[in-house]
Amino acid sequence: MSGDIIGELVIDVAKSEILPRYNNLKEADIAAKSPGDMVTIADLAAEKALTRALKREYPTAIIGGEESISEAPNLLAEITTADHAFLIDPVDGTNNFIKGDPRFALMLTELRKGQVEAAWIYLPVTEKLASARKGEGARLNDRKVVTLAPTFEPAKMVAAAHLKRFPPEIRCLAEHNLKDFKENRPAFCAGHDYIMLLEGAKDFSVYYRTLPWDHLPGGFIFTEAGGYVRTLFDQKKYRIGIQDKGLLSAPSEALWHKIRQSVFPDRFTRS
């Protein structure tokens, strides 16, 4: 099964299970897994549909997603060690989806022994599909994309810095330092932000929480396009199972260090 066909599966599931429910949710279709962490009938239906489709093609693969792992946390460990596995984020940006905000995504990661082999991000409303396979670069719909690193000029740079979950002292400092930049426009949807990075519409992204279904696909695709993705505090490559808090993505290694020093000075980022 080729990557293009998996991409078609992702699109088909989005069209059959997610888009019909967009701006069409009833109160009974929405629930809270924990305060502020919402799930909808679209999340559940999309994950089940994509799981079934992948299982037909790869009967021996371990397949799980954000919602099934929420119910059975040990499934993530199985995915991490499996010879072949898929990890699904059925609706990334669920809160946006509930509010009728078009910035939501369906994301899929293919792994072998915990290493990412390929990934897909689909934005159903704008019909943008980003994808990559290890060593083959990244694509956005039908064209290959390569990151272009701008000159470090904060007054011209757009951030996607999600600061709410940072410890208060670091968050306050970062909010102050981001005033030197042109704008901070977090989408509250990792999939959307990673595609904006690929397009050059945003220059860097910052997250504190680093859940694998949120960041494995985008971090992998952006890296295949030439971007630089590292944990904010320890500068590690992001991978499944990593427990570090904080993730910074920038178009190049040089820019990554300049952005980190500008927004998060060393005295706060040294572990």
pTM (2 d.p.):
0.95
DSSP bridge pairs for 37: 34
193 annotated as ligand-binding: no
Provide the residue-wise pLDDT of the chain in tens; the chain has 271 residues.
Answer: 344 899 999 999 999 999 999 999 999 999 998 877 899 999 999 999 999 999 999 999 999 999 999 999 999 999 999 999 999 999 999 999 999 999 999 999 999 999 999 999 999 999 999 999 999 999 999 899 999 988 999 999 999 999 999 999 999 999 999 999 999 999 999 999 999 999 999 999 999 999 999 999 999 999 999 999 999 988 999 999 887 789 999 999 999 999 999 999 975 554 4
66 annotated as ligand-binding: yes
Comparing C-alpha atoms, which of 213, 195, 210, 196 is closest to residue 46? 213
214 annotated as ligand-binding: yes
Residue 270: what pLDDT?
Answer: 46
Residue-range domains of the chain with CATH: 3-145 (3.30.540.10), 154-269 (3.40.190.80)
117 annotated as ligand-binding: no
- Tell me 237's DSSP state: B
Torsion over CA: 50, 73, 215, 117 (sign): negative
